[in-house]
Amino acid sequence: MAVKVRIPTPLMKLTDNKSEVSAEGSTISDIFNDLEAQFSGIKDRICEENGSPRRFINIYVNEEDIRFLDGEKTAVKEGDEISIIPAIAGGTR
């Protein structure tokens, strides 16, 4: 099943500067693996070695944070929108 994945600015270097890509899979884990197959190195930026998202990056299925669903086992369906939202700190300088 195809879902739309929103790529945050700091990771766009890995997706040929695309802010939106398509990925296949039935869970968030599948989506991470498909992203890695398309854009080598991206999974390592998003996930810890055990496959769960890093603590300064949140993954949302539509509006919902997967930490409050089933984590990386969260099911996704055709047409869902996945957002990868890292902490950013910029403001002053």
Two tokens, residue 90: 């910029």
Per CB under 8 A, residues contacting another protein are 6, 8-10, 19-20, 54-56, 58, 60, 63-65, 67-68, 83, 85-93
Closest distance to another protein from the beta carbon of 36 (Å): 18
Closest distance to another protein from the beta carbon of 81 (Å): 9
Closest distance to another protein from the beta carbon of 38 (Å): 20
Cβ distance 62 to 39 under 8 Å? no
Closest to another protein by CB, 68 vs 77, is 68
Closest to another protein by CB, 71 vs 86, is 86
Closest to another protein by CB, 18 vs 37, is 18
